[in-house]
Chains A and B, each alone.
Chain A
Amino acid sequence: MKVMISAFVAALVIASLAPVALNQFGWSSAEQASSESVRLD
């Protein structure tokens, strides 16, 4: 059961890190669809 729990935790860790990594690569929708000058962030 430890393996099962650790896999579930790993899935959540991956889910938490995914948006951070995608933003680092500039693959966010905001970066793809708008230029910096018109973004509010």
Chain B
Amino acid sequence: MKSKLCSAAIFALATLFFNPVWAQETPTVDRTATGGAQTLEDIMRRQEQLKIDESFRSENLGDPANAAPISGQLGTLGGRSDADVWRSIRYNKIDPTVQSPGPANTVLIQDEGMPWYKLREGPVITYGGGAILGFLALLVVFYFVRGKIMIDGGPAGTTIQRFKAIERFGHWLLAGSFIALALTGLLTLMGRSFLIPVIGKDAFATLAVGSKWLHNNVAWAFMLGLVMTFVMWVAHNIPNKLDWQWLKAGGGIFTKGHPSAKKFNAGQKIIFWTVMVLGFSVSLSGLSLLFPFQLPIFADTFGVINSVLGTSFPTDLAPHEEMQYANIWHSIVAFVMMVAIIAHIYIGSVGMEGAFDAMGNGEVDLEWARQHHDLWVAEVEAKQGKGESS
């Protein structure tokens, strides 16, 4: 029942991202009266921003084979009229010769810019920003309802090493760069709408240039941190039966007892895999944006999805469309990561007594460790016992 509700909620949320216009079916228009050219109905539908099947224009590009013989009076025009040629340019159906290199330079008109801009300025900012603010509000409510999770019976006073220096270095490299990327990313996405009215265009221009530099370059530190933490912690984050027990107990958040856990509990594993999978995805789309037009990824990805799921995502994408998809995907994934990381920061700081020490100085209170990671403490103590006896 819960999974059905969850699926329904996900479906309802997903539908919010899609413009209702996309779901419309395009009617078949009779264009015999205009000889196949645009009709009044086409114009009216376009004015009402309804979907139109553009193939009557995009496929009507003339045929060189119809050229009049060169000896004829109209021989120089060839088999394609000026209108045919302009339609070819309009729908990117020509292969022009250009002097400057680069895949995007041969595209003279690319008309997906406005849908991308509207999506970026509309749903992405609205739902992404709303998700962050809503989640922050939820955490404030949660804090006042549940309060700080304390160490039952108080701290033991003795500590146990939770993370080595190299582990903490990898974590903070990833965390520090992620926070820098999140703030500069939000500034790049939303600054035009929300900061210019407050600080003015000149101040924002300086801030935006600095943000762009930091975002583009600190991304490498993020990717290094991602690789480091993956290598160091993946073995501890393989899901097992214990995680199901932990999840069924709700992590002990609303109960007095603490479910058993090894080095990482199921909640931490969810955060780990969320960061790894989304971090990899956001890095790929980021690289695609970092090297404009050089690393297209969406046409191939859509091709794989289509072959597996039988969908019909577009696979013939102009270089600009690749960038537009990369930009939107980069933003959506980043917002999901931000929400997950806000939860992680909460539980690792104000939400739980003694949790920050694990990444602060690497030493955690023994009682805290026993309550939250009892099996891990037993493993460490067993190893220490072996070490002392050998």
Residue of B nearest to A1 (CB): B360
Sorted nearest first, the 7 A-B pairs with minimum C-beta distance are: A7-B172, A11-B221, A15-B217, A14-B221, A15-B218, A7-B173, A8-B176
Q: How many whole Å from B171's CB to the nearest CB in chain A?
A: 8
B292 interface neighbour in A11, A12, A29, A34, Cβ under 8 Å: A29
Chain A residues, Cβ within 8 Å of B102: 32-33
Residues of A within 8 A of B (CB): 1, 3-4, 6-8, 10-12, 14-16, 18-19, 27, 29, 32-35, 38
Q: Is the CB of B100 within 8 A of A11?
A: no
Q: Is the CB of A14 within 8 A of B224?
A: yes
Q: Is the CB of B169 within 8 A of A34?
A: no
**What separation, in Å, do the CA atoms of A6 and B169 have in the docked complex?**
8
Chain B CB within 10 A, most for which of A3, A14, A29, A32? A3
**What separation, in Å, do the CA atoms of A27 and B172 have in the docked complex?**
28
Chain B residues, Cβ within 8 Å of A15: 214, 217-218, 220-221
Q: Does B361 contact A (CB under 8 A)?
A: yes
Query: 10 interchain pairs (CB within 8 A)?
Result: A1-B360, A3-B165, A4-B176, A7-B170, A7-B172, A7-B175, A10-B221, A11-B176, A18-B216, A33-B102
Chain B residues, Cβ within 8 Å of A12: 218
Q: A11-B176, A27-B291, A34-B100 are in contact. Are A19 and B168 (CB under 8 A)?
A: no
Chain A residues, Cβ within 8 Å of B168: 3-4, 7
Chain A residues, Cβ within 8 Å of B222: 11
Residue of B nearest to A32 (CB): B294
Of residues 213 to 252 in B, which have CB atoms within 8 Å of A's CB atoms? 214, 216-218, 220-222, 224-225
A34 interface neighbour in B101, B177, B225, Cβ under 8 Å: B101
Q: Is the CB of B169 within 8 A of A38?
A: no
**What separation, in Å, do the CA atoms of A38 and B102 have in the docked complex?**
14
Residues of B within 8 A of A (CB): 100-102, 105, 165, 168-173, 175-177, 180, 214, 216-218, 220-222, 224-225, 291-294, 359-362
Residue of B nearest to A11 (CB): B221
Q: Is the CB of B291 within 8 A of A32?
A: yes
Q: A33-B101, A34-B101, A38-B100 are in contact. Are A8 and B172 (CB under 8 A)?
A: yes
Q: Is the CB of A11 within 8 A of B169?
A: no
Chain A CB within 10 A, most for which of B170, B221, B294, B360? B221
**What separation, in Å, do the CA atoms of A34 and B168 have in the docked complex?**
43
Chain A residues, Cβ within 8 Å of B216: 18-19
Q: How many whole Å from B104's CB to the nearest CB in chain A?
A: 8
Residue of A nearest to B294 (CB): A32
Q: Is the CB of A33 within 8 A of B100?
A: yes
Q: How many whole Å from A9's CB to the nearest CB in chain B?
A: 9
Residue of A nearest to B165 (CB): A3
**What separation, in Å, do the CA atoms of A11 and B165 have in the docked complex?**
16
**What separation, in Å, do the CA atoms of A37 and B51 have in the docked complex?**
46
Q: Is the CB of B176 within 8 A of A7?
A: yes
**What separation, in Å, do the CA atoms of A15 and B172 have in the docked complex?**
15
Q: A15-B218, A34-B101 known; 18 other A-B pairs, CB under 8 Å?
A: A3-B165, A3-B169, A6-B169, A7-B169, A7-B171, A7-B176, A8-B172, A10-B173, A10-B221, A11-B221, A14-B221, A14-B224, A15-B214, A19-B217, A27-B291, A32-B101, A34-B100, A35-B100
Chain B residues, Cβ within 8 Å of A4: 168, 172, 176, 359-360
Residue of B nearest to A10 (CB): B173
Chain B residues, Cβ within 8 Å of A14: 217-218, 220-221, 224
**What separation, in Å, do the CA atoms of A16 and B221 have in the docked complex?**
10
Chain A residues, Cβ within 8 Å of B221: 10-11, 14-15
Chain B residues, Cβ within 8 Å of A11: 173, 176-177, 180, 218, 221-222, 225
